[in-house]
Amino acid sequence: MRTFGYILLLCCVYAVTGEDEKYTDKFDNIDVKEILENSRLLLAYINCLLETGKCSPEGTELKKHMAEALSNGCKKCTEKQLDGVKLVVKHFVNHDKENWEKLVAKYDPTGEYTKKYEKEAKESGINLSE
């Protein structure tokens, strides 16, 4: 159930520009590490995704495309976005399990995506089975 986080990088959020195109790189310069190190910023994104708080424009885009990105393995993500996804997943799995579990409960309640992406996560050094 932790694979939801693979897509959480989209908390840097990307608007879809077309059916067969990549997500926009408009937000690729967002410092993902800064968000992860700032509990106030990170919590704002988490609350947006959980629908318990207001959403920034980036958070709104993230929520809008979350289901699609989870279902297709983030195939519309740029390389920089995919790198950020790995960073975000590692952070949640290793440092913020409580919020991770809340997000997983909302976006992967059956464990479908965890199972689907477990091998890929492991290849990236992320252990989703803990």
**Angle, alpha carbons 86-11-96 (nearest 5°):** 60
What mean pLDDT comes out for the span 72-99? 86
Q: Report which of residues 126 and 4 the model is more confident about.
A: 126
CATH tag for 32-124 (out of 1.10.630.10, 1.10.2080.10, 1.10.3720.10, 1.20.120.1200): 1.10.2080.10
pTM of the model: 0.76
